[in-house]
């Protein structure tokens, strides 16, 4: 529901500034419209993740599932929407290069943290 409301608010925001849906808006307004939809979607997503993990820690296993579902949906919006916006500003080739660099850096950072983690050292 938040995704639909966010999209409607984003379209209404651009329409009110004289850029109806088929017309391409300037990058600054596009960023503001994306921030609007992200805010509308991420506030309930962050709340669901927060309270889901809290419920899980309190002994309700269903909270963990709710937290993960909310995180995947909200995170998916940002992971898919931000590159789409950036592609209009800087072009797809540069967005793909940045994505590949991040895709290579994240596993390296996670692996480095696991090697230094005291919990990981105790499991060996």
pTM of the model: 0.64
Residue-wise pLDDT tens digits, 44-67: 899 999 999 999 999 998 899 989
Given pLDDT bands bounded at 50, 70 and 90, which one contains residue 118?
low
Rounded Cα distance between 121 and 124, Å, is 6
């Amino acid at each position: 529901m938040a995704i639909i409301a966010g999209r409607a608010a984003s379209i209404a925001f651009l329409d009110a500034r004289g850029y109806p849906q088929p017309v391409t808006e300037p990058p600054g307004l596009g960023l503001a419209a994306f921030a609007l939809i992200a805010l509308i979607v991420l506030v309930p997503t962050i709340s669901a993740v927060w309270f889901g993990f809290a419920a899980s820690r309190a002994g309700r296993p269903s909270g963990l599932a709710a937290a993960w579902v909310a995180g995947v949906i909200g995170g998916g919006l940002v992971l898919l929407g931000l590159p789409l916006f950036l592609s209009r500003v800087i072009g797809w080739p540069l967005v793909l290069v940045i994505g590949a660099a991040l895709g290579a850096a994240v596993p390296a950072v996670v692996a480095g943290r696991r090697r230094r983690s005291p919990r990981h050292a105790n499991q060996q």
